[in-house]
């Protein structure tokens, strides 16, 4: 049933997803509403606008930011971030894609949901778009010394700095450069996020005009999920927004792309730091891309996905195998695969770490591999395995990253954006069955590879080469541009720049009346922690935990081994043992046969180690190795066979495969730095505070990346490679002696079958009374270091030793992180400093309190702001509301739901380390009891200057500043 101003177009039950999809149209404006009705109290809202920029000024991205800086009904400076802390939301954000901008949120509390809906509707459709907000969020020029017109001009702005950071990533540069050629005429030709050198070209008038045409209900798609009826949502859409609009004549859409009549080949460059300039001829990227069919055609989309899976899904896939095993490059490109996020799909493959003189050979390798597939076909069992992967991905109930409802909404959004059928992309069972019938024809895949790839002339070969001087040229061009701007300024214009800087500072300092915004309070918080209970049982003396969960026909299983005692050298290669465990051959199968076996049986299989401090003493650690997999229920028995063989019979004699895995790992880890710089900086800053924190820095942090590069370089020697394989095997021999326990997650009616399958494959084994478990020596030291890498922005971290989670002060320290961010750090680091983000948090696993900044143009000023926040804390009288908001934020993160399987797995892993339900409830209750006095007390007790550790991630241009700070300089 719909609200009177909406008409129901159609309704369809999707049994596989346990929901009903309803599509509505607003009668006056034509706004679309797609409602996913489900028995789930985590309700999700999203409003998307088709945004189609025709340049790289970042207009859609800057508008996304600026629209959230105050609206007609809520004329406060920062309603979005204010609502973040006045809410129990389980998700709250805004996204800019290449052809849409979306504003989503989720909440389990209906009062909270309605509060957020009011604010979001007003922000999107009645934004104030203040020019000072445009200057803050987008771009502006100021004098380096604010009041000195004789000092240099500098560019500032949150999005400007965000995109400088984003475009420091080589993979981002590779993708946007590829799109420039793959999409020569449509909006995808441009960088919707904004190119740093183009962003300053955007005017305030252009921003407002883009808002007028694009942020209109006629161009809007409303999408909702959960147990609130569609008519209830529609009444609010109508009364809060839609009733004030008429239909808009303009139709925003992406047109058909111009097609090439012959393939093209292009070469461009990317900047690289001088410190990384060794072996430049091996740091080239080569990708080949084809433009395929439309994403709105479900049959074509599934066919393209199947072809992509068959070619690239695993190491036994023909194209993936060719890319992994060739000597022409270091690793497959991070862009490999099918991109179906645009109106027309793209298939991309290639290599990184190849030489310029080998580019034509790499292209020939790819095309020859495709010709071989087109001529010889693919074994039917591999096609069946790829279809199995498609089915599994459609069935899985997610929710561990984004809320599950939001994942479903985003699945349908691409099609809705291009006025296709969003329901079809959610209800794919019939289309999958049709595809399965088509694949019975032995020539089907051969014909598809010819049609989509070999006979498709719209093909781009892009070579992206490193240039050690390019970064300096970019900086020089920016400096010259600013110098020319300054030279052209009149005295009146100089004073106007100074006046605007002061006006913006005043605006950033002003205290708005937050009471006009809706809020929840502590009385709206559920009384108890949501807890997923599992069984405690034994089979053949093995501990077993079983959890009943709505997994939609999937079973999740884990084998957990106590981590054995390892030498220092073995600890350093533990991550590579975990990688190799599921990527090498097992039993009588080589790695290629094992990869094919995995594709036939499971959706994923992986191994990882967990090393954590005790909840009452972080110097005392515990550690486990976990082998984790998921499969369709019908494959439960086969899942057990695969997991047992993997753990007991993995082979370490495939030396060339081990060499490939290390090279691929290096490529992935190096690419991760600019996207995770703040996390890496915090990990480095905490490395002296506990054994688990130190080993995290050594294995998965910046020190681990540096060690991985050295390891990769050393394995070119066959003897060194054989020695490394022997080390991995030695670790494995120790793991085989370790005590084991098991986890099963699935639907209640299948749990007994899953247990019986497990029992049949794991007979009792003798207890190993001589087993020595993993230990680490105590750690207590101060860190002061700066890591130099290929980035245009900085990531700052400062950390203090505190207490573990069982300590009564851990709760107050946890609340303190949000309190400092809300009341001080957000304003000084993001709004005034121009960083994309900044804040503070307590990490009870490391017993450390960390300050951080993300994609930050500053260094010393940010470190000073960290200190200033503590002075502000102690010298200011703080209202209870500010404390309550910080508490709400912590409780919201504690109570945030995951997927049904994810919640069971996280409970199981927490309880392995002694984080029982009682301890988690105790911590939650302590959070609810925190006072302003507690915050001041714990800050004074633990956050003392002489105990602070500092770690920075920055670039070579900041070396002088780093040296003045007295930090040790390291490279990764």
- Catalytic sites, residue numbers: 64
Phi first, then psi, for residue 544 (nearest 5°) are -135, 135
> What does DSSP assign to residue 335?
T
Nearest to 948 by CA among 877, 869, 865, 848: 848
Helix (H, G, I), strand (E, B) or coil at 247: coil
Distances 126 to 73, 77, 113, 245, 824 between C-alpha atoms, Å: 8, 14, 19, 11, 28
Q: List all residues 6 or more positions away from 32 whose beta carbon is below 8 Å from its beta carbon.
A: 23, 24, 25, 26, 220, 221, 222, 416
**CA-based R_g, the chain, Å:** 28
Phi and psi (nearest 5°) for 190? Answer: -105, 160
Nearest Cα neighbor of 688 from 847, 811, 566 is 847
Query: HSE on the CB side for 784, CA within 13 Å?
Result: 13
How distant, in Å, are the alpha carbons of 91, 112, 153, 530 from that of 525? 16, 11, 49, 12
The single-letter DSSP state of residue 807 is: S
Q: What is the SS3 assignment for 380? A: helix
Helix (H) / strand (E) element for 285: namely strand 284-294
The three-class DSSP label of residue 679 is helix
Query: What stretches of 313-399 show up as alpha helix (H) in DSSP?
Result: 318-325, 359-376, 380-395
Q: Kindly tell me the sign of the dihedral angle through the C-alpha atoms of 292, 293, 296, 301.
A: negative
Q: What is the DSSP pairing of strand 95-96 with strand 100-107?
A: antiparallel
Quote the tokens at residue 243. 């009733």
CA–CA distance, 963 with 215 (Å, rounded to integer): 48
In contact, 234 and 47? CB cutoff 8 Å = no
Ordered alpha helix ranges (H), 461-573: 470-487, 491-509, 568-572
Instruction: Name the nearest CA neighbour of 105 among 96, 97, 93.
Output: 93
Q: What are the angstrom distances between the C-alpha of 199 and each of 195, 213, 215, 388, 501?
A: 6, 20, 20, 45, 19
Count Cβ atoms below 10 Å from residue 250 Cβ, excluding itself: 11
The Cα–Cα gap between 467 and 501 comes to: 36
Provide the CA 578 distance to its chain's centre, in angstroms.
22
Contacts of 630 (CB under 8 A, 6+ apart): 392, 396, 554, 555, 556, 557, 602, 603, 604, 901
Contact 246, 179 (CB under 8 A): no
The length of the chain, given as a count of residues: 972
Q: What are the counts of helices (DSSP H) followed by strands (DSSP E) for the chain?
A: 35, 28
Give Cα separations from 806 to 305, 336, 589, 694, 796 (angstroms): 48, 45, 47, 21, 28
Burial class (CB in 10 A: 0-12, 13-18, 19+), 148: exposed
Q: Report residue 566 CA to chain centroid gap.
A: 32
Number of Cβ atoms within 10 Å of the Cβ of 933:
11
Rounded Cα distance, 444 and 435, in Å? 10
Token duo for residue 438: 């088509």
- Residue 445 CA, chain-centre distance (Å), reads 33
Helix (H) or strand (E) holding 614: strand 604-614
């Amino acid at each position: 049933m719909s609200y009177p101003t909406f008409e129901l177009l159609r309704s369809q039950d999707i049994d596989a997803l346990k929901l009903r999809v309803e599509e509505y149209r607003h009668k006056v404006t034509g706004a679309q509403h797609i409602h996913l009705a489900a028995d789930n109290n985590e309700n999700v809202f999203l409003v998307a606008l088709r945004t189609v920029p025709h340049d790289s000024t970042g207009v859609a991205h800057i508008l996304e930011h600026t629209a959230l800086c105050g609206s007609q009904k809520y004329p406060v400076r920062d309603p979005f971030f204010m609502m973040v802390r006045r809410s129990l939301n389980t998700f709250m954000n805004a996204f800019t894609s290449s052809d849409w901008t979306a504003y989503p949120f989720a909440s389990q509390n209906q009062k909270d949901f309605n509060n957020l809906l009011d604010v979001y509707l007003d922000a999107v459709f009645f934004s104030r778009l203040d020019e000072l907000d445009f200057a803050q969020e987008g771009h502006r020029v100021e004098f380096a010394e604010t009041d000195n017109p004789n000092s240099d001009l500098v560019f500032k702005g949150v999005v400007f700095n965000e995109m400088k950071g984003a475009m420091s990533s080589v993979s981002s540069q590779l993708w946007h450069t590829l799109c420039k050629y793959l999409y020569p005429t449509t909006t995808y030709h441009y960088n919707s996020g904004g190119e740093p050198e183009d962003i300053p070209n955007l005017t305030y008038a252009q921003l407002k005009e883009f808002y007028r045409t694009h942020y209109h209900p006629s161009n809007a798609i409303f999408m909702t999920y959960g147990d609130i009826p569609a008519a209830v949502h529609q009444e609010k859409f109508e009364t809060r927004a839609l009733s004030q609009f008429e239909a808009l004549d303009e139709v925003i859409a992406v047109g058909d792309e111009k097609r090439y009549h012959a393939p093209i080949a292009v070469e461009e460059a990317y900047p690289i730091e001088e410190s990384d300039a060794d072996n430049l001829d091996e740091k080239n990227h080569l990708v080949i891309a084809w433009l395929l069919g439309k994403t709105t055609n479900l049959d074509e989309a599934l066919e393209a996905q199947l072809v992509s899976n068959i070619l690239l899904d695993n190491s036994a896939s023909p194209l993936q195998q060719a890319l992994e095993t060739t000597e022409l490059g270091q690793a497959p490109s991070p862009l490999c695969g099918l991109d179906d996020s645009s109106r027309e799909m793209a298939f991309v493959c290639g290599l990184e770490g190849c030489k310029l003189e080998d580019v034509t050979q790499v292209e020939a390798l790819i095309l020859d591999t495709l010709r071989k597939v087109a001529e010889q076909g693919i074994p039917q069992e591999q096609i069946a395995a790829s279809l199995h992967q498609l089915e599994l991905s459609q069935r899985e109930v997610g929710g561990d990253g984004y809320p599950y409802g939001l994942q479903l909404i985003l699945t349908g959004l691409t099609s809705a954006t291009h006025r296709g059928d969003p329901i079809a992309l959610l209800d794919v069972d019939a289309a999958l069955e049709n595809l399965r019938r088509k694949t019975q024809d032995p020539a089907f895949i051969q014909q598809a590879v010819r049609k989509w790839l070999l006979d498709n002339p719209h093909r781009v070969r892009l070579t992206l080469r490193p240039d050690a001087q390019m970064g300096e040229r970019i900086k020089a061009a920016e400096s010259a541009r600013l110098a020319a701007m300054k030279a052209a300024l009149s005295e009146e214009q100089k004073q106007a720049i100074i006046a605007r800087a002061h006006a913006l500072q005043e605006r950033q300092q002003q205290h708005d009346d937050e009471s006009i915004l809706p809020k929840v309070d502590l009385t709206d918080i559920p009384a108890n922690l949501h807890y997923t209970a599992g069984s405690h049982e034994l089979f053949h003396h093995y501990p077993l935990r079983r959890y009943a969960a709505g997994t939609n026909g999937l079973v999740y299983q884990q084998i957990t081994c106590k981590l054995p005692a390892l030498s220092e050298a073995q600890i350093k290669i533990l991550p590579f043992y975990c990688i190799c465990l599921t990527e090498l051959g097992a039993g009588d199968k080589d790695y290629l046969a094992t990869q094919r076996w995995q594709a036939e049986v499971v959706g994923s299989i992986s191994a990882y180690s967990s090393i954590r401090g005790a909840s009452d003493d972080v110097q005392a650690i515990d550690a486990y190795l976990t082998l984790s997999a998921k499969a369709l229920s019908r494959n439960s028995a086969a899942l057990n066979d695969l997991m047992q063989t993997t753990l007991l019979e993995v082979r370490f004699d495939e030396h060339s495969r081990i060499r490939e895995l290390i090279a691929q790992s290096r490529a992935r880890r190096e690419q991760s730095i600019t996207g995770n710089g703040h996390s890496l900086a915090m990990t480095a800053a905490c490395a002296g505070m506990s054994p688990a924190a130190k080993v995290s820095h050594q294995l998965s942090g910046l020190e681990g990346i540096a060690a991985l590069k050295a390891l990769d370089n050393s394995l070119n020697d066959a003897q060194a490679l054989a020695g490394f394989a022997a080390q991995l095997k030695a670790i494995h021999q120790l793991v085989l002696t370790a005590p084991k326990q098991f986890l099963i997650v699935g639907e209640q009616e299948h749990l007994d079958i899953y247990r019986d399958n497990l029992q049949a494959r794991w007979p009792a084994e003798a207890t190993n009374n001589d087993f020595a478990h993993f230990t680490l020596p105590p750690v207590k030291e101060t860190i002061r270091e700066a890591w130099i890498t290929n980035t245009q922005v900085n990531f700052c971290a400062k950390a203090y030793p505190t207490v573990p989670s069982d300590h009564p002060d851990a709760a107050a320290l946890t609340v303190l992180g949000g309190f400092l961010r809300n009341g001080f750090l957000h304003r000084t680091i993001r709004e005034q400093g121009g960083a994309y983000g900044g804040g503070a948090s307590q990490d009870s696993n490391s017993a450390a309190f960390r300050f951080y900044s993300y994609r930050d143009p500053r260094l010393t000023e940010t470190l000073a702001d960290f200190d200033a926040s503590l002075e502000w804390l102690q010298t200011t009288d703080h209202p209870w509301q500010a404390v309550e908001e910080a508490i709400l934020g912590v409780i919201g993160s504690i109570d945030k739901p995951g997927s049904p399987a994810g919640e069971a797995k996280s409970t199981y892993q927490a309880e392995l380390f002694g984080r029982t339900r009682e301890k988690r409830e105790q911590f939650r209750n302590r959070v609810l009891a925190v006072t302003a006095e507690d915050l001041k007390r714990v800050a004074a007790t633990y956050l003392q200057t002489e105990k602070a550790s500092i770690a920075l991630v920055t670039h070579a241009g900041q070396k002088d500043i780093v040296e003045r700070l007295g930090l040790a300089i390291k490279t990764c």
